Structure 1
Amino acid sequence: MYFLYSISNHLVLVPILALVATQVLLIRSVSSLNMTNSYLNHKCLVSQGKYKPGSVHEKSLEAIIHSISVGENINSGYDMMSFGDGPDLVCVILQCRGDSYGSKCRSCFASAMAGLRRRCPRYKGGIIWFDQCLLEISSIDNVGQLNYDDSFCMSNAKNVGDNPYLFILKWDTLFDNISRIAVTEKNKNLKDANKPALYGAGEKRIGTKRKMYGMVQCTDDLSVKACQECLVSNILKFQDCWKSGKRGARVLGRSCNFRYELYPFVNAKTGPNSYLKS
């Protein structure tokens, strides 16, 4: 069971029923690697204002949504499109989880777009997080820029139990190792990949009976340096959340995210780079 730990003042809190529904999905999905695509959270960027029905802004947004939906870029798990300028600028960024591309990414985009429209109707800006993707719509071109503000942490309600200090040390090591993979190994699924995948995942044994599973990811518009800065910033900013000896935790942001659990939640075979086992 997850609960919202920390969030910016402007972020709309997730309804209790939505969290309960998420937990039901998580419980039912154990037999399938816990690979759910549940809604996690959202933020309406109210400062950017709203657009009017039939406006140039709305038409530009609809055109971008269609282009991303039918385009080829979504097959790689990432797409970014912008159109217009000034008050009519529309910028859309879609980042799917490293092991979720192609049809899974396309499906998550559809769910995220529908969810954002429902929760932030006609707002020019908004961010929504699902298990398998992040979607941002904005009237501000912030591609390639680090966003330190729009991030939050969710942790498991249950404690790890015996020796939480050892548990934290194991996560520290796993985080460092998969972060290194994220910023050094190129995307093996792309023939013309010219930079690291900015995604890393793996597992680490805890004692003789348990394993810890972890994942880190940055949005593909970031540089390697910016990705490293984002991950370090969030690991420090939310250490009271993930260092509390919980069985699992995740930090989600506009620019990067990380997660650890005591069960597998990503597909080790479909990731863009090597899956760490230690």
Structure 2
Amino acid sequence: MRHSRSSISINLLLCLFLLSPQAFADSNAVTDSAFLFHTCSSLQNYTANTPYASNLKQAFYQLASNAPPSGFGLSSVGDDIQSQVNALALCRGDVSPADCKNCIDTASNEIQQQCPNSKGASIWYDFCLLKYSNTKFFGKIDNGVRLYMWNVQKAENPATFNEQVKNLLSGLVEKVEATPKLYVIGEQGIEGPSNKLYGLVQCTRDLSGAACKKCLSDAVAELPNCCDAKIGGRVIGGSCNFRYEIYPIVDAQK
């Protein structure tokens, strides 16, 4: 079983598209924090040994220290608007504090390699999301990036399967607004050899419950474009994501 990456709108204002499909190894093991994608989201750069560079380092340190216990953290470092860094880290709802910290540490190092001196960037792993910017983005739905991934295998009964996927994810979206972590997993029985369909929805916790629901509802509306009749798929953005599979996604579903 493999996953592929679709065309991705990196920045809707720039109309920049990546068309290089990349295969992702599929593993049922939930201990694998695989790299998914990154984007350098700012056209502005900073230089080494400046206040912005120092503030970015401090923001990463704060996130690695403060986010793991709850799986989410915000950091805003610097009083001067010109050098202020705003950063966010989110770990998948089932990930342990130790794995969360490891993922944030890895992401902090990798994003500086992938986007050297950029004043804004985001990076996604299976276990975590890390993003930062020189502008205040907290509380706003981030539609700058939308990543599609899907299983290349198709369901035997596409119409029925599509409806089951939509029903599962829509049901999870309805529940997410009332959850403290803005994270919900679920499952439902289906016909076929797998017998069950598993789903996950999650938002960054700087969003309100209503904004989270809107972000996920818009993402689920992308199902026909992303994952038509595919037995597994996900849509990942800067503020929310969903995933469904015919096998358990997280330990709690085993």
Same fold by TM-score, threshold 0.5 exceeded? yes
**Alignment pair present for 1:145 and 2:145:** no
Name the residue aligned to 2:57: 62
Tell whether the 8 Å contact from 1:97 to 1:133 is kept in structure 2 after alignment.
Answer: yes
Instruction: Provide structure 2 residue ranges, at least 5 long, that are not aligned to the other structure.
Output: none
Name the residue aligned to 1:3: 4
Q: Give the count of matched residue pairs.
A: 247
1:265 aligned residue (236, 249, 254): 249
Name the residue aligned to 2:171: 177
1:218 aligned residue (196, 199, 203): 203
Letter in 1 for 2:114: R
Name the residue aligned to 2:185: 201
**Alignment pair present for 1:232 and 2:220:** no
1:169-193 deviation digits (Å, cap 9, x = unpaired): 11122112222332223xxxxxxxx
* SS state at 1:268 partner: helix
Structure 2 length as normaliser, TM-score? 0.90
What does residue range 1-278 of structure 1 map to in structure 2 within 5 Å?
1-10=2-11, 13=18, 19-20=22-23, 22-23=24-25, 26=26, 29-30=27-28, 32=29, 34-47=30-43, 49-71=44-66, 73-84=67-78, 85-160=80-155, 162-185=156-179, 196-207=180-191, 209-210=193-194, 211-242=196-227, 244-268=228-252
1:32-65 deviation digits (Å, cap 9, x = unpaired): 3x44210001110132x11111000011111122
Structure 1 length as normaliser, TM-score? 0.82
Distance 1:179 1:78, change over 3 A: same
Deviation at 1:236, TM superposition (A): 1.7
Deviation at 1:237, TM superposition (A): 3.6
1:200-257 deviation digits (Å, cap 9, x = unpaired): 1011111264211110001000001101110111122453212x10111100000100
Letter in 2 for 1:39: F
Letter in 2 for 1:235: V
1:79-103 deviation digits (Å, cap 9, x = unpaired): 1000123221101100111111411
Q: Percent identity?
A: 32
Tell whether the 8 Å contact from 1:36 to 1:131 is kept in structure 2 after alignment.
Answer: yes
Tell whether the 8 Å contact from 1:95 to 1:134 is kept in structure 2 after alignment.
Answer: yes
Instruction: Provide structure 1 residue ranges, at least 5 long, that are not aligned to the other structure.
Output: 186-195, 270-274
Tell whether the 8 Å contact from 1:159 to 1:246 is kept in structure 2 after alignment.
Answer: yes
In structure 2, what is the Cα distance between the partners aligned to 1:41 and 1:15?
Answer: 12
Calculate the aligned-residue CA RMSD, in Å: 2.1
Residue range with higher mean Cα deviation, 172-181 or 226-235 = 172-181
